[in-house]
Chain A
Amino acid sequence: MSMTIRADSQANELLQTVEALSGQRLAACYQCGTCAATCPFVAAMDLPPDRLIQQLRFGLPGVLERRAFWVCVGCDSCAERCPRAIAVPRVMEALRLIAIRERGDRLAVAQLPAATLRDLPPIALVASLRRNTG
């Protein structure tokens, strides 16, 4: 079975939207892997950041179903080191936003256990709502 893939195609709607929301031009990425090497949470990601970007650029299916961008917590470690000055956390946030728009909130705050809500510092809940809901 063969399939045609194109890098950075104008017909790649997801890529267009991600770039518009994040303000990043993903064609700048030259796949050095520094972001993946830096990320403290890469082991929990189903795709490391550089491969996620690559799959986005080539319009490969299943990008929005990945867990990787929900794992990203926006610590900016990768952003500080990217030699191409790509703000990878912004790309992750764009993917979260698109996924939320298409599929609804990822976190149902009303269903968190009472004990969790009792003990959490408010910033944890506020930040989690910002990143996981629309």
Chain B
Amino acid sequence: MSDGNGLITMQLMGKSYQVPSGLTIMAAIEYAGYKLVRGAGCRGGFCGACPTLYRRDGSHRIFTALACQTLVEDGMCLVQMPFVPLLTRPYDLQAIVPQPNTLLQHFPEIAGCVACNTCARSCPQGLPVMDYIQAALRGDIERAAMLSFDCIACGICSSRCPADIKHYAVGLLARRIYGKYLAPPAPDLARRVAEIAAGRYDAELDALISLPAAELRARYEQRSFEAVADGAEPYSATRRYNSPMDPVDYQDELAG
């Protein structure tokens, strides 16, 4: 319990430690004297290396979180989960022909999904995990790719799944298939790459490179933004799939 001088108690691997409140779990573990040689990565909530299981005082419930993103609480009893063992299914992306059963074929255990939603409730990114597995089960590869777009492959969902589904692997394959076979081709991109290869921008780039630093800085600060039409939203491929991590509305930044 808290002792009034800003220190709180946490239990790590069964041992008690007094740590200052206001630290993240990861910082608290290091404050307690541990050097993290695994289970730590970007420290920014994006690499998925630090999944943590914990209990709170007085409750039987198990919670899950990322250690680098979650503040330690008084009475927390926690353990880290370096990785979740994954049965890898070898595949050759070049040889895959996307069909309704493709994801089911590579991960037949998704047919065991009981729609309990434990995965979505334990996802530290708030993603609709069950829904992308369901999309995969019915062959909607695009939807599976879009709904899983922001997955950081921390494995917390898989560790809690009663059917032992490896959600992040399913999502990854869905996104790879989508990117390679299903995403609409971008002719403008191909055209632009060809222009660059043909040297169309060489002269302009050479001129910029040889500018004095002050002149370059001035030009940078006076750069123009592409105007966004009134009411138009910045483009987002995933927006209609309601990803909670859709890009920020840049209108606010422009106006301010």
A: residues with CB less than 8 A from B are 109-110, 112, 114, 117-120, 122, 125-126, 128-129, 133
Given the complex of chains A and B, what is the CA–CA distance between A62 and B248 in angstroms? 65
B88-118 interface mask toward A, CB cutoff 8 Å, 1 = contact, 0 = none?
Answer: 0000000000010110110011011000000
Beta-carbon contact of B112 and A122 below 8 Å: no
Q: Is B121 an interface residue (CB 8 A)?
A: no
Q: Which of B99, B112, B138 contacts A109 (CB 8 A)?
A: B112
B109 → chain A, closest Cβ, in Å?
6
Known pairs A117-B105, A122-B101 / 6 extra A-B pairs, C-beta < 8 Å: A109-B109, A117-B108, A118-B101, A125-B108, A126-B112, A129-B111
Shortest Cβ gap from B114 to chain A (Å): 9
Give the complex CA separation of A13 and B139 in angstroms: 44
B residues sitting closer than 8 Å to A (CB atoms) are 87, 99, 101-102, 104-105, 108-109, 111-112, 137-139
* A66 to B105 CA separation, bound complex (whole angstroms): 31
Chain B residues closer than 8 Å to A114, beta-carbon distance:
105
- CA A133 to CA B111, docked complex, whole Å: 11
Q: If A110-B87, A117-B101 touch, does A122 touch B111 (CB 8 Å cutoff)?
A: yes
* Residues of B close to A109: CB separation below 8 A: 108-109, 111-112
Tell me if A110 and B101 are in contact (CB < 8 A). Answer: no
Distance in Å: Cβ of B90 to nearest Cβ of chain A: 11
Which 7 A-B pairs give the minimum distances between C-beta atoms? A125-B111, A117-B105, A109-B108, A126-B111, A129-B112, A118-B105, A129-B111
- Give 27 CB contacts A-B under 8 Å: A109-B109, A109-B111, A109-B112, A110-B87, A110-B108, A110-B109, A112-B108, A114-B105, A117-B104, A117-B105, A117-B108, A118-B99, A118-B101, A118-B105, A119-B101, A120-B101, A122-B104, A122-B111, A122-B137, A122-B138, A125-B104, A125-B108, A125-B111, A126-B111, A126-B112, A129-B111, A133-B112
Among A114, A117, A128, A133, max chain B CB count under 10 A is at: A117
Residues of A contacting B139 in the complex (Cβ-Cβ under 8 angstroms): 122
B99, B102, B109, most chain A CB atoms within 10 A: B109
- Quote the shortest CB–CB distance from A129 to chain B (angstroms): 5
- Residues of chain B within 8 A (CB-CB) of A122 are 101, 104, 111, 137-139
Name B138's closest neighbour in chain A (CB-CB): A122
Question: Of all chain A residues, which has the CB nearest B139?
Answer: A122
Contacts of B112 in A (CB 8 A): 109, 126, 129, 133
A133 to chain B: closest residue by CB = B112
A77 to chain B, nearest CB (A): 26
CA of A125 to CA of B101, assembled, Å? 11
Contacts of A125 on B, CB cut-off 8 Å?
Answer: 104, 108, 111
Residues of A within 8 A of B111 (CB): 109, 122, 125-126, 128-129
A8 smallest CB distance to B (angstroms): 35
Q: How far is the CA of A117 from the CA of B108 in the complex (A)?
A: 7
Q: How far is the CA of A128 from the CA of B10 in the complex (A)?
A: 45
A118 neighbours in B (Cβ, 8 Å): 99, 101-102, 105
